[in-house]
Amino acid sequence: MQIDILTLFPQLFQGPFSEGIFQRAVDRKLVQVNIHNIRDYTHDRHHTVDDYAYGGGAGMVLKPEPIFEAVEKVKKDTGLREGVEELPVILLTPQGRLFSQEVAQELASYSNLVLICGRYEGVDERVRQHLATDEISIGDYVLGGGELAAMVVVDAVVRLLPGVLGSEASAQDDSHTMGLLEYPQYTRPEVYRGWAVPEVLRSGNHAQIAKWRHEQAILRTLKRRPELLDRANLDSAEKQLVDSFKKL
């Protein structure tokens, strides 16, 4: 997958993508991330990227021209055939659709992504209407800009790409993949400060372990995020389990 990120602050992206799983994915050519400075697509002497809002009001608005030109350059360079291969152009904004594991899975299916990092004051509306194909928010709070949101999206998407995680199974079990939170995990020592690892996990009985984990995932979701259970596809045995937990 190739990901092109348009930002006014390229240096912010140095850290997160040069670590662990991500760096390995880059080294193995499973993903390529290109950072583009929107300011490089200005033509005036002062490299102006924003301007006052028509109609007045506080805050500057990002100008459309450099953003359009940066995206057009990326499109030209990636050489996707217009109308054949789809290229999502995603504006990161608190006004976007809410990011989730499901959205991450959807994005992971594309060969290319373009992410535009907005600033909180605003982006010229013509970018939304005539350039972006999608708008994403990572939650109901306001960040200073789309950069951290873009990192969140890229992190969540890249770990879903085939071959990025050590074992293919590990993304399968993630919290949210099944619509449930993840079950409790333990490692050695068997007893730490008097707190013992649950007996079932030491039993070696794989069927029992799987059953326990699944129950714990449901129980934990019920306690912490009950609204997720309404959307999870529970079978009748699982629904019974929820009802019995609710009665406790």
Residue 159 annotated as catalytic: yes
Question: Nearest-CA neighbor of 153 among 106, 86, 85?
Answer: 106
Task: Choose the catalytic residue: 94, 128, 173, 238.
Answer: 94
Interface with ligand 6GU (CB under 6 A), residue from 123, 146, 181, 219: 146
The distance of closest approach from Cβ of residue 93 to ligand 6GU in the complex, given in angstroms and rounded to an integer, is: 5
The distance of closest approach from Cβ of residue 123 to ligand 6GU in the complex, given in angstroms and rounded to an integer, is: 10
Residue 10 annotated as catalytic: no
Interface with ligand 6GU (CB under 6 A), residue from 63, 145, 164, 217: 145
Task: Choose the catalytic residue: 65, 121, 173, 238.
Answer: 121
Site for ligand 6GU, residues 94 to 113, rule: CB under 6 A: 94
Q: Is 8 in the site for ligand 6GU (CB under 6 A)?
A: no
Q: Is 92 in the site for ligand 6GU (CB under 6 A)?
A: yes
Site for ligand 6GU, residues 110 to 129, rule: CB under 6 A: 120
Interface with ligand 6GU (CB under 6 A), residue from 137, 154, 178, 179: 137
Are 135 and 146 contacting, i.e. CB atoms less than 8 angstroms apart?
Answer: no
Q: Is 138 in the site for ligand 6GU (CB under 6 A)?
A: yes
Q: Is 84 in the site for ligand 6GU (CB under 6 A)?
A: no
Q: Which residue is nearest to ligand 6GU (CB)?
A: 149
Strands 2-7 and 112-117: parallel
Contact window for ligand 6GU (CB under 6 A) among 89-97, 168-176, 188-196, 221-229: 89-97
The distance of closest approach from Cβ of residue 146 to ligand 6GU in the complex, given in angstroms and rounded to an integer, is: 4
Task: Count the residues of the shown chain that bind ligand 6GU, applying the rule CB under 6 A.
Answer: 13
DSSP the chain: -EEEEEES-GGGGTTGGGSHHHHHHHHTTS-EEEEEEGGGG--STT---EEEPTT--SSEEE-HHHHHHHHHHHHHHHTPPTTTS---EEEEEEEEEEP-HHHHHHHTT-SEEEEEE-BTT-B-HHHHHHT-SEEEESSSS--SBSHHHHHHHHHHHHTTSTTSSSSTHHHHTSTTTTSSPPPP---S-SEETTEEPPGGGGS--HHHHHHHHHHHHHHHHHHH-HHHHHHS---HHHHHHHHHHHH-
Residue 106 annotated as catalytic: no
Residue 19 annotated as catalytic: no
Report the alpha-carbon distance of residue 142 to residue 43 in Å, rounded.
Answer: 31
Chain positions contacting ligand 6GU, by CB under 6 A: 92-94, 120, 137-139, 141-143, 145-146, 149
